[in-house]
C-alpha cells in the first residue's frame, strides 16, 4: 500500500533521516519512534504530502488520501462540535449522515456536547472532536501523530479498539506515540534519530 524509498530530509541544517526506505501494507501497524526533535512529525507530514522539502519517493497505492490527525485539532472555535465534525468528514467523504455524526461524538465521550462551541471546550475535547472522524471515515490508511496526547485512559482504550477494527478490515495504520500500545496485531517499529 505504501512504498517509501531513499527518503532524506534536512531541516534547519540538521539531517533528520537519510536514505530511509520502508514499506507497509494491509493490516499493518507502523510505529514511528524517536525522542523529541528526531523528525517523527516531519516524516508523517511528508507521507501526507504536507511537507515538501525532502528527496526520495513516497508512493501510495490508494484511491483516497490518507486520513491525517496532526498536533493541531483542525476545529474552529466558533463552530459547534457537530458542525466541525461534519465539515472535517465532508472533506473526505460525502455520505455521512447527521445521525452517524452524533453517534461518533458519543463514541468519543462527547455525548451532550454536540451543540457546544469548540472554543468553550478543553484541549482534550477538541482533540476528541477531531478523532471522532476515525469512527466515520473509511480511509484505508491512517496517519496519526500522537493520537493519545491529551486523551484520558478510557479514551485510549476505546481508540485502540477502533484501531484494531481498522486493521482487521485491511487498513494501514502509521502512528507516533509515547504511550505503550496494546494492539491485536504485531507492531513494526521505525526508529528515527540513531
Partner 1 sequence: MSLFFGVIKRELLIAYRNPADLLNPLIFFVIVISLFPLGISPTEQVLSQIAPGVIWVGALLSTLLSMDILFRSDYDDGSLEQMTLSREPFLFLILGKIVSHWLVTGLPLALLSPLLALMLFMNEAGAWALFCSLLLGTPILSLLGAIGAGLTVGLRKGGVLIAVLILPLFVPVLIIATAMVQAGMQSVDYTGHMLWLGAILAASIGFAPIATSVGVRISLSH
Q: Tell me if 64 contacts partner 1 by CB under 8 A.
A: yes
Chosen residue from 8, 35, 61, 93 binding partner 1 by CB under 8 A: 93
Which is it for strands 29-33 and 14-24: parallel, antiparallel or unpaired? unpaired
Which span sits near partner 1 by CB under 8 A: 17-25, 26-34, 49-57, 178-186? 49-57
Q: How many CB atoms sit inside 10 A of residue 110's CB?
A: 21
State how far Cα 166 lies from the chain centre: 12
Report, in Å, the least distance between residue 134 CB and partner 1: 14
Report, in Å, the least distance between residue 126 CB and partner 1: 9
Which span sits near partner 1 by CB under 8 A: 91-99, 108-116, 153-161, 163-171? 91-99
Q: Tell me if 90 contacts partner 1 by CB under 8 A.
A: yes
| Rounded alpha-carbon distances, angstroms, from residue 115 to 18, 37, 83, 123 | 47, 38, 8, 17
Q: Tell me if 150 contacts partner 1 by CB under 8 A.
A: no
Report, in Å, the least distance between residue 46 CB and partner 1: 10
| Rounded alpha-carbon distances, angstroms, from residue 13 to 9, 10, 16, 193 | 10, 6, 9, 15
Q: Is 29:170 a contact under the CB 8 Å cutoff?
A: no
Q: Tell me if 147 contacts partner 1 by CB under 8 A.
A: no
Nearer to partner 1, 67 or 163 (CB): 67
Nearer to partner 1, 74 or 109 (CB): 74
Q: Could you say which DSSP state residue 80 is in?
A: B
Helices (H), 23-79: 40-47
Residues of this chain that interact with partner 1 (CB under 8 A) are 48-53, 64-68, 70-79, 83, 87-88, 90-94
Amino acid at each position: 500500500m505504501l512504498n517509501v524509498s531513499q527518503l532524506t530530509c534536512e531541516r534547519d541544517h540538521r539531517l533528520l533521516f537519510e536514505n530511509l526506505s520502508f514499506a507497509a501494507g494491509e493490516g499493518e501497524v507502523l510505529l514511528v519512534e524517536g525522542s523529541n526533535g528526531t523528525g517523527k512529525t516531519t516524516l508523517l507530514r511528508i507521507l501526507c504530502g504536507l511537507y515538501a522539502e525532502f528527496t526520495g519517493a513516497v508512493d501510495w497505492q490508494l484511491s483516497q488520501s490518507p486520513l491525517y490527525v496532526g498536533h493541531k485539532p483542525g476545529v474552529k472555535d466558533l463552530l459547534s462540535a457537530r458542525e466541525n465534525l461534519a465539515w472535517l468528514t465532508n472533506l473526505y467523504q460525502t455520505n455521512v449522515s447527521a445521525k452517524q455524526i452524533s453517534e461518533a461524538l458519543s463514541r468519543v465521550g462527547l455525548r451532550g456536547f454536540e451543540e457546544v462551541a469548540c472554543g468553550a471546550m478543553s484541549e482534550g475535547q477538541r482533540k476528541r472532536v477531531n478523532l471522532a472522524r476515525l469512527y466515520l471515515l473509511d480511509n484505508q490508511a491512517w496517519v496519526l501523530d500522537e493520537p493519545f496526547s491529551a486523551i484520558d485512559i478510557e479514551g485510549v482504550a476505546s481508540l485502540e479498539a477502533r484501531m484494531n477494527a481498522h486493521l482487521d478490515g485491511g487498513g494501514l495504520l502509521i502512528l507516533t506515540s509515547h504511550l505503550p500500545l496494546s494492539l491485536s496485531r504485531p507492531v513494526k517499529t521505525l526508529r528515527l534519530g540513531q
